[in-house]
């Protein structure tokens, strides 16, 4: 039990308390020689108080008690020469009260010392005869200078490994690391560290599917579904059996505007500019600029390589006479109008469309797939002519381009 303090639990609105009301207090309450030797705290905060005559109670001021607060009264008896309460002189009368007062001062000092020990507020010897720090820090110690002195944390932080001689580092070294080089510690930049480990330039790249990244297989050990245009199987033994298509190099050119094919029954029909069909609008998966449409010149320009081209031309007979039969021819050439033009499909498509009569339309489609080998790229023109008259109509066209390889071998 404490000898030099008493603890109370505050009651709402109550500022007056009687010594001896706290758990563990001495019979008759806390004893003291002067109220000046007392201090009062409420939940650890010092408060003002007065002790009336009789020293049996105290009254706090300047504080509001809501109830449940911890009120602690502590006695601290003077322990200095100047703080002696009784000073005996020669030839003076020795009174009981003076002897009691002097003895009580010594007794109270001893009690306060016992409270300090009981509260683990000082170092004590442990079971092995060593000082027990009681899980508390040792503060305000001087810097150690001799081998048997304690050292501060600041000394440890500033210390270096005697054999390794660690260099002093600062904020400027945040992107660096420590290496043992030739038996000593050395600061190394990332570039020096890569050289020390023998890493190549790939160590600077991130894994991914973007530009300047290292390709990583997916969960099925396959290449990611990227462009793939730089994979060339021309000299590979599997090239004959693999149909490699560039999924990202796909462009579709559509035209839903009705067109009337040129009327020409002569052998020069495909050499006229009037036989060109307007290509329409391009929609691409990602042709990376390999497919360029020129609606004004009615042509499509492809980059160098081997291309697969597919076209569909829808056509109907607009003649109101039942049984009217007209022929249409379609083929693919370059952009030259004349006898020097290049014909890409040697066997052009031809179909007859018969009219079923007035207010009805017989519709059919011309569909073809061909392979274009363009070593330096080239222009593509889709041409159509009506051999028999002016009654055929083309409601829509579609061309699709897939780049098979960058090679034309």
Contact 357, 320 (CB under 8 A): yes
What are the pLDDT tens digits along the chain (409 aa)? 678 888 889 999 999 998 875 433 333 478 888 889 999 999 999 999 999 888 888 999 999 999 999 999 999 999 888 888 888 788 778 888 888 888 888 888 888 888 777 776 677 777 777 887 778 888 888 988 898 888 888 777 666 554 456 677 778 787 788 877 777 777 888 888 888 888 888 888 888 877 788 888 777 777 776 655 555 555 555 554 444 444 456 899 999 999 999 888 776 777 888 899 999 999 887 787 899 999 999 999 999 999 999 999 999 888 767 777 888 889 999 999 988 999 998 776 778 887 776 666 678 889 999 999 999 999 999 999 988 877 889 999 999 999 888 887 7
- The SS3 of residue 236 is coil
The pLDDT of residue 230 is 54
Proportion of the chain in helix, strand, coil states, percent, rounded to 5: 15, 30, 55
Residue 95 CB contacts under 8 Å (≥ 6 apart), including other chains: none
Supply the DSSP symbol for 375.
T
* Placement of tokens 């009217």 in the chain: 324
State the alpha helices, DSSP H only, in 18-72: none
Sign of the alpha-carbon torsion through 374, 376, 377, 381: negative
Judged by DSSP in three states, 115 sits in helix
At 165 the pLDDT is: 61
Identify the residue whose tokens are 């000898």.
3
What is the C-alpha to C-alpha distance for residues 1 and 115, in angstroms, rounded to an integer?
8
With 0.85 as the threshold, say if the pTM is over it.
Answer: no
Every domain of the chain and the residues it spans:
5-93+109-117, 250-405
Which one is the CATH code of 250-405: 3.30.565.10, 3.40.50.300, 2.60.120.40, 3.40.190.10?
2.60.120.40
* Interior/surface letters 173-192, b for 16+ CB within 10 angstroms, e for the rest: eeeeeeeeeeeeeeeeeeee
């Amino acid at each position: 039990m404490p000898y030099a303090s008493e603890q109370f639990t505050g009651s709402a609105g109550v500022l007056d308390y009687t010594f001896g009301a706290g758990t563990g207090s001495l019979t008759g309450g806390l004893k003291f020689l002067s109220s000046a030797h007392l201090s009062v705290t409420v939940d650890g905060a010092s408060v003002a108080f007065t002790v009336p005559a009789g020293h049996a109670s105290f009254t706090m001021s300047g504080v509001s008690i809501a109830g449940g607060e911890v009120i602690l009264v502590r006695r601290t008896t003077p322990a200095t020469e100047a703080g002696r309460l009784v000073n005996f002189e020669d030839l003076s009368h020795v009174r009981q009260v003076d002897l009691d007062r002097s003895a009580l001062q010594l007794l109270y000092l001893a009690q306060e010392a016992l409270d300090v020990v009981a509260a683990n507020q000082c170092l004590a010897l442990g079971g092995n005869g060593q000082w027990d720090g009681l899980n508390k820090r040792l503060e305000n110690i001087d810097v150690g200078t001799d081998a048997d002195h304690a050292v501060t944390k600041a000394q440890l932080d500033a210390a270096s490994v005697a054999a390794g001689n660690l260099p002093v580092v600062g904020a400027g070294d945040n992107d660096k690391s420590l290496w043992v080089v030739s038996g000593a510690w050395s600061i190394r930049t990332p570039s020096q560290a890569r050289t020390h480990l023998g890493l190549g330039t790939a160590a600077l790249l991130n894994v991914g599917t973007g530009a300047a990244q290292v390709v990583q297989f997916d969960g099925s050990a396959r290449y990611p579904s990227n462009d793939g245009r730089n994979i060339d199987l021309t000299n590979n033994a599997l090239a004959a059996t693999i149909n490699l298509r560039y999924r990202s190099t796909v462009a579709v050119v559509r035209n839903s505007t009705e067109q009337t094919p040129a009327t020409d029954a002569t052998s020069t029909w495909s050499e006229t500019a009037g036989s060109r069909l307007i290509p329409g609008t391009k929609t691409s998966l990602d042709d990376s600029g390999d497919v360029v449409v020129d609606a004004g010149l009615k042509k499509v320009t492809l980059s160098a390589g081997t291309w697969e081209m597919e076209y569909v031309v829808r056509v109907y007979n607009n003649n109101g006479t039942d049984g009217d039969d007209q022929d249409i021819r379609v083929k693919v050439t370059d952009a030259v109008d004349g006898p020097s033009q290049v014909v890409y499909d040697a066997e052009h498509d031809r179909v007859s469309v018969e009219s079923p009569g007035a207010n009805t339309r017989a519709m059919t489609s011309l569909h073809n797939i061909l392979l274009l080998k363009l070593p330096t790229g080239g222009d593509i023109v889709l041409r159509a002519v009506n051999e028999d008259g002016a009654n055929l109509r083309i409601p829509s066209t579609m061309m699709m381009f897939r780049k098979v390889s960058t090679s034309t071998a």
